[in-house]
Amino acid sequence: MERINLKDKEVFKKEGRGMANLVDEPYLLINQVCLEPGQNVPEHQANSNVTLHVVSGEGTFSIGKEKVKAGPGNLLRIPLNSSMSIQSESPERLVFLVIKTPHPDALKKDSPVGKNRERCFVNLIRFPPLKKEKDKEFREWFRHSSELFAKHPGFISRTLLKSTEGTGRYAAVVEHESKETFMAMHLSDDREALFKKVETLIDGMPEPNFYEVAASYRK
Q: What is the pLDDT of residues 23-55, one digit of tens each?
A: 998 788 999 999 999 999 999 888 888 999 999
Q: Examine the pLDDT at 113 and tell me if it is beyond 60.
A: no
Q: Residue 108: in which H helix or E strand, if any?
A: helix 104-110
Mean pLDDT of 127-133: 93
Q: Evaluate if pTM is beyond 0.75.
A: no
Q: Give percent above pLDDT 90 in the chain.
A: 61
DSSP symbols for 134-163: -HHHHHHHHHHHHHHHTTSTTEEEEEEEE-
**161-167, Cβ contacts within 8 angstroms, sequence gap of 24 or more:** 167/129
> Could you tell me which residues come within 8 angstroms of residue 2 by beta carbon, excluding any fewer than 6 positions away?
none
What is the band of 114 on the pLDDT scale with cuts at 50, 70, 90? very low
Sheet containing strand 155-162, edge to edge, reads 155-162, 170-176, 121-126, 207-212
pLDDT of residue 112: 47
Fold of 7-110: Jelly Rolls (2.60.120)
CATH number attached to the domain at 112-212? 3.30.70.100
Instruction: Give the C-alpha separation, 183 to 174, whole Å.
Output: 12
Q: Domain-by-domain residue ranges, the chain?
A: 7-110, 112-212
Give the C-alpha separation, 96 to 47, whole Å: 18
Looking at residues 123-144, what average pLDDT do you find?
94
How would residue 213 be classed by pLDDT, with cut points 50, 70 and 90?
confident
